[in-house]
């Protein structure tokens, strides 16, 4: 049975990607429905500077607590049905957020209206796009956390998608991380950095014995610097994948 649905977005990490979410979700719903049927959204834009300090300290426990609290407020304070974290890196603490919002698997928290709020994991959305083009082996680009740790790779693996090893490119990973936090998060896109990103992809493709089926832009700001046509391989934009899934859920379940 369809009813009014509200999407909750935890944003501000960075504000650039949050703008993409707000604009593109509205544009996509409008495109599919016309009229004035814009989606019901609640956005909690946090102070990224405070989270960046915690990231540098390695205090992910505190980050999980804070984001869990934000998600709880969206789910139970603003009655959001679907929660989205508008960033890939913070999905490192997705498990903490799920435990806060959804409860344990045996005893999920249910609101008085009978709905179980759901965290829409960006990794699952990426996997859906990969499956659409039968991409089983991908080059995952993103922050240093995303490229070197297992939280996103493991999520993709549950969908039988392999993120290829990039451990032999530590300098390049460091530079990509710097471009994201020091440029893209500030709305800055330079020709020099764009050229570096394109050259890294080409170098990886040239060095690899087994070529990836696609490149995953596993950072919600990377679509600012890499676009289809920049490299000779399919690009899967995690931001668009996430947005498309949220829009689908909204239209499938909402009275619009």
pLDDT per residue as tens digits for the range 58-82: 999 999 999 999 999 998 889 899 9
Please check whether residues 50 and 80 belong to one and the same domain. yes
Please check whether residues 103 and 131 belong to one and the same domain. no
What mean pLDDT is predicted for residues 188-192?
97
Please check whether residues 110 and 13 belong to one and the same domain. yes
Please check whether residues 114 and 169 belong to one and the same domain. no
Residue 221 lies in domain: 124-237
Q: Kind and range of the H or E element at 150? A: none
CB atoms within 10 A of CB 168: 9
**Residue 227 belongs to a domain with what CATH number?**
3.40.50.1860
pLDDT per residue as tens digits for the range 87-105: 999 999 999 998 887 765 5
- Would you place residue 112 in the very low, low, confident or very high pLDDT band (cuts 50, 70, 90)? low
Q: Domain tally for the chain?
A: 2
Write out the two tokens for 188: 């800055």
Nearest to 250 by CA among 39, 31, 20, 28: 39
Please check whether residues 114 and 132 belong to one and the same domain. no
Handedness of CA 241, 56, 49, 181 (dihedral sign): negative
Write out the two tokens for 94: 């997705």
pTM here is: 0.93
Could you tell me if 203 and 176 are in contact, meaning their C-beta atoms sit under 8 angstroms apart?
A: no
Rounded distance between C-alpha atoms, residue 214 and residue 142, angstroms? 14
Rounded distance between C-alpha atoms, residue 66 and residue 228, angstroms? 36
Q: What is the chain's length? A: 256
Q: Provide CB contacts within 8 A for 218, sequence distance 6+.
A: 88, 126, 140, 141, 142, 146, 147, 152, 238
Please check whether residues 15 and 90 belong to one and the same domain. yes
Rounded distance between C-alpha atoms, residue 204 and residue 150, angstroms? 20
What mean pLDDT is predicted for residues 105-121?
67
């Amino acid at each position: 049975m369809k009813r009014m649905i509200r999407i909750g977005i935890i944003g501000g990490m960075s504000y650039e990607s949050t703008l993409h979410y707000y604009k593109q979700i509205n544009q996509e719903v409008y495109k599919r429905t016309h009229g004035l049927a814009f989606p019901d959204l609640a956005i909690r834009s946090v102070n990224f500077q405070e989270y960046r300090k915690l990231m540098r300290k390695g205090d992910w426990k505190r980050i999980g607590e804070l984001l869990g609290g934000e998600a709880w407020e969206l789910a139970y304070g603003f009655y959001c049905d679907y929660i989205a974290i508008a960033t890939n890196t913070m999905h490192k603490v997705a498990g903490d957020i799920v435990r806060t919002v959804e409860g344990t698997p045996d005893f999920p928290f249910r609101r008085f209206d009978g709905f179980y709020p759901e965290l829409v994991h960006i990794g699952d959305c990426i996997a859906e796009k990969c499956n659409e083009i039968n991409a089983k082996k991908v080059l995952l680009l993103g922050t240093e956390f995303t490229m070197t740790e297992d939280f996103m790779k493991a999520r993709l693996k549950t969908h039988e998608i392999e993120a290829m090893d990039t451990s032999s490119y530590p300098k390049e990973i460091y530079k990509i991380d710097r471009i994201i936090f020091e440029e893209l998060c500030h709305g800055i896109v330079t020709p020099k950095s764009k050229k570096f990103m394109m050259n890294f992809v080409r170098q990886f493709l040239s060095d690899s014995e087994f070529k990836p089926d696609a490149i995953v832009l596993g950072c919600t700001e990377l679509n600012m610097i890499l676009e289809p046509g920049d490299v000779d391989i399919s690009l899967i934009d995690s931001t668009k994948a996430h947005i498309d899934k949220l829009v689908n859920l909204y239209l499938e379940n909402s009275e619009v």
